[in-house]
């Protein structure tokens, strides 16, 4: 009678679970490092170029020789390109756009979430369908519309900040209203009913109960609208013509096309300064943005 072989064969290390786990973790870290470098190195190169007194990319390094703020001084003192004015124009347009977008989308989202009226589903379906098409397809129609508006309301026509703001607000209302609606859907309806029993109106219920609970999504909508309007190029380039009314993104492009071969350091300095407002806005509010984007994704 033969006895079974109870001895266990030793598994090679490269076939063991430990080795596979090391390979798996190592590959993840390598991919993460590659993606971080891919995202960070271009930004570091731009910052380095803005501090480099040289006017060309040739021989550029991540840490230039004799770094300084010469390019920034030349940028702000350039009499042909009013960079400071362009930056203020962008902040003005983006600030007003984000404020109006927050006010309109909050009320719209509350109405879509709490009220039941005829055509409600049709409105939401139309919003979803319209957001499928890229906004660049409507640029010719927007130009013609603004041209007609200017005949009757001068501050909403071509080459006006009012016209650009109106287009930005109209374009941001759709998907942002649905985001707010989804967030409000996660708030129990019993809170509204309790307030109504106590005699509160819809406006009082929204102002004192609903609005304090949707602050994260309101901040999210405001920040995203600000970034979208601040960084837009196409609409501002088509509608704005006067040099003193241009935005910073359009201004940098015009400066690049005119002096790219001579003042690359000045152009990168303009890019760095243009990014500062976004960084200062996003970093302190990022926790609200994350909460606003995730809290309304699952309805309890």
Check residue 142 and give its pLDDT. Answer: 86
- The Cα 154–Cα 152 span in angstroms is 6
Give the range with max mean pLDDT: 9-23, 74-88, 93-107: 93-107
3: pLDDT strictly greater than 60: no
pTM (2 d.p.): 0.82
- The Cα 226–Cα 278 span in angstroms is 9
- The Cα 185–Cα 297 span in angstroms is 10
Q: What residues contact residue 47 under an 8 Å CB cut-off, 6+ apart?
A: 268, 272
Task: State which H helix or E strand residue 265 sits in.
Answer: helix 264-295
Is the Cβ–Cβ distance between 94 and 230 less than 8 Å? yes
Complete DSSP assignment for 201-258? -HHHHIIIIIHHHTHHHHHHHHHHHHHHHHH--HHHHHH--SGGG--HHHHHHHHHHH
Q: What are 30-64's pLDDT values in tens digits?
A: 999 999 888 888 888 888 888 887 766 555 566 77
CA-nearest of 78, 35, 42 to 268 is 42
41 token code pair: 């190195």
Burial class (CB in 10 A: 0-12, 13-18, 19+), 270: buried
Least confident of 249-253, 257-261, 276-280: 257-261
Neighbour count for residue 14 (Cβ, 10 Å): 8
Q: Is 165 left (phi over 0), alpha (psi -120 to 50) or beta?
A: alpha
CA-nearest of 290, 289, 170 to 222 is 289
Q: What are 184-216's pLDDT values in tens digits?
A: 988 888 888 888 888 888 888 888 889 988 998
- The Cα 274–Cα 231 span in angstroms is 9
**Hey, what's the torsion of the CAs at 220, 226, 229, 230, to 10 degrees?**
-140
| Confidence band of 299 (pLDDT split at 50, 70, 90) | very low
Q: What residues contact residue 164 under an 8 Å CB cut-off, 6+ apart?
A: 93, 235, 236, 239, 240
Q: Is 59 left (phi over 0), alpha (psi -120 to 50) or beta?
A: left
- The Cα 158–Cα 251 span in angstroms is 18
The rounded mean pLDDT for the chain is 83
Check residue 197 and give its pLDDT. Answer: 87
Determine the average pLDDT of the residues in 96-122.
Answer: 89
Q: What are 171-191's pLDDT values in tens digits?
A: 888 888 888 898 898 888 888
């Amino acid at each position: 009678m033969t006895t079974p072989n109870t001895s266990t064969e030793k598994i090679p290390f490269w076939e063991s679970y430990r080795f596979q786990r090391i390979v798996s973790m190592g590959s993840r870290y390598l991919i993460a490092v590659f993606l971080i470098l891919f995202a960070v190195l271009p930004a570091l190169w731009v910052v380095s170029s803005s501090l480099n007194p040289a006017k060309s990319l040739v021989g550029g390094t991540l840490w230039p020789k004799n770094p300084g703020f010469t390019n920034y001084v030349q940028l702000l003192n350039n009499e042909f390109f009013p960079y400071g004015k362009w930056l203020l124009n962008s902040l003005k347009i983006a600030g007003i756009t984000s404020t109006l977008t927050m006010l309109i989308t909050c009320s719209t989202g509350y109405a879509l979430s709490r009220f039941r009226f005829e055509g409600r589903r049709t409105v939401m379906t139309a919003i979803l369908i319209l957001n499928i098409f890229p906004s660049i397809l409507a640029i010719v129609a927007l130009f013609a519309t603004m041209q007609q508006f200017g005949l009757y309301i001068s501050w909403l026509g071509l080459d006006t900040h009012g016209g650009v703001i109106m287009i930005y607000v109209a374009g941001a209302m759709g998907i942002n209203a649905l985001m707010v609606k989804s967030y409000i859907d996660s708030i129990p309806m019993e809170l509204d009913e309790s307030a109504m029993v106590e005699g509160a109106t819809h406006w009082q219920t929204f102002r004192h109960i609903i609005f304090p609970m949707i602050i994260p999504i309101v901040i999210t909508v405001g920040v995203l609208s600000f970034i979208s309007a601040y960084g837009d190029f196409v609409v501002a380039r088509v509608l704005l013509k006067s040099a003193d009314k241009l935005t910073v993104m359009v201004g940098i492009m015009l400066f690049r096309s005119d002096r790219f071969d001579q003042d690359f350091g000045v152009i990168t300095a303009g890019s760095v300064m243009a990014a500062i407002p976004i960084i200062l806005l996003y970093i302190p509010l990022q926790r609200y943005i994350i909460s606003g984007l995730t809290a309304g994704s699952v309805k309890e």
